Amino acid sequence: MPSSRAEAVAEILWELKRADKLGTYTEIAQRAGFSPGANSRTILTCLKHVRRDWPHLQWFRAVSDDLHIEKGSEQAENLSDLGVQLAASSEKEKAVVIANPDDCVLYWSMADAT
């Protein structure tokens, strides 16, 4: 049985899919009403449950706050398939970074401030 946090995250992932956007771990957790946890552990646990309980949802739309993704990972492949531009990271050797975050990442906190 999924937790209420996982259900809230699932709703937000559906919202991101409809908007054709990505969301950072912190933004998604805060939108769902909880803290992402130390090293994003809480949100990562929720995403694990979402992948298990709702495999049709696009879990890969949730990205790390620094926008880095493991090079060659399933997430990187899925994002590329969506048309998200990924570039080599100058900070992490085994990672790529989202090249156009202004175009594809939804920041609710910024939208709510305007």
The answer to whether 26 and 65 have CB atoms below 8 angstroms apart is yes
Q: How many domains does the chain have?
A: 1
Residue 3 clears pLDDT 90, i.e. is over it: no
CB atoms within 10 A of CB 97: 19
Largest CA distance in the chain: 41
Q: How confident is the model at residue 24 (pLDDT cuts 50, 70, 90)?
A: very high
Residue 32 clears pLDDT 70, i.e. is over it: yes
Calculate what percentage of the chain has a pLDDT beyond 90. 90
Q: Sign of torsion, CA 97 86 51 19? A: positive
Q: How confident is the model at residue 89 (pLDDT cuts 50, 70, 90)?
A: very high
pLDDT, position 109: 73
Q: pLDDT tens-digit profile of 95-114?
A: 999 999 999 999 987 655 44
Average pLDDT, the chain: 93
| CATH number reported for the structural domain that contains residue 13 in this entry | 1.10.10.10
Predicted structure pTM score: 0.91
Domain of 52, in residue numbers = 4-113
